[in-house]
């Protein structure tokens, strides 16, 4: 449980395309910092890694933001976007186990799960999906660095197209910050959006100690999509 982004990627990203992804994200680091999204290394200390082999970062462990003990398992409300203080973030209950928030914030540490996108992965560690892609994911706790993560995923989607599939717990509003900054700095972003579709998901239900039964439920799948802009006449 927790606010999560998922992506399906090829085992190796070609050199030229990786160069584009690395270069574009590198151009965003300073604008992101100016917007309040400070990045650190994978464990919340030191600088982020943006190299010929990997993009890896987290939020800073010692960020200087005020703590809020009520900020447990934060999840964005439908229109949540931007960054703000934890003292004004909470706007509801999240199924009795957490809280909903109206903007990104932290509980005194902006560090959460490490985001990693590698140029090449060890494809022996798991099976590929039906399209030959490998799945990865990150839970962000809707910390400020979530904006940087959505920027990387948007950039990768732009350059890799249908070879990079992004699903997200976030609705369209939660991707608005990434769209704006990518459009302003990189010249693309406006034509991205989240498509929602209802699907059936199979789960396993325990009916007894040794009796497991498949069960199905309706869920909403959200997919990042780049629309084709209309041709200029």
Q: What angle do CA 86, 42, 71 make, to 5 degrees?
A: 20
pLDDT, tens digit, 9 for 90 and up, residues 79-132: 999 999 999 999 999 999 999 999 999 999 999 999 999 999 987 778 899 999
Tell which wins on pLDDT, 230 or 126.
Answer: 126
**Strand residue runs (E) in 130-210:** 134-139, 165-168, 192-208
Please give the average per-residue pLDDT across 150-164, as a whole number: 98
CA distances from 28 to 37, 115, 122 (A): 10, 16, 28
How sure is the predictor about 27, in pLDDT bands with cuts at 50, 70 and 90? very high
The average confidence (pLDDT) of the chain is 91
């Amino acid at each position: 449980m927790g606010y999560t982004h998922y992506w399906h990627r090829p085992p190796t990203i070609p050199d030229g395309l990786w160069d584009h992804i690395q270069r574009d994200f590198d151009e965003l680091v300073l604008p992101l910092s100016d917007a309040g999204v400070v990045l650190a290394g994978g464990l919340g200390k030191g600088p982020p890694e943006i190299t010929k082999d990997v993009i890896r970062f987290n939020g800073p462990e010692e960020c200087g933001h005020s703590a809020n003990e009520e900020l447990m398992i934060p999840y964005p409300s439908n229109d949540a976007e931007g960054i703000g203080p934890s003292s004004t973030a909470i706007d509801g209950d999240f199924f009795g186990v957490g809280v909903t928030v109206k903007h990104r914030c932290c509980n005194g540490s902006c560090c959460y799960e490490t985001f990693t996108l590698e140029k090449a992965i060890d494809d022996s560690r798991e099976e590929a999906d039906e399209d030959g892609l490998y799945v990865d994911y990150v839970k962000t706790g809707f910390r400020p660095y979530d904006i940087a993560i959505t920027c990387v995923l948007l950039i990768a989607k732009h350059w890799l197209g249908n070879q990079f599939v992004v699903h997200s717990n976030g609705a369209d509003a939660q991707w608005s910050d990434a769209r704006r900054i990518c459009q302003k700095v990189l010249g693309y972003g406006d034509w991205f959006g989240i498509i929602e579709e209802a699907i059936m998901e199979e789960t396993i239900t325990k009916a007894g100690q040794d009796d497991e039964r498949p069960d199905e439920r309706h869920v909403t799948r959200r997919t990042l999509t780049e629309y084709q802009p209309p041709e200029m006449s």
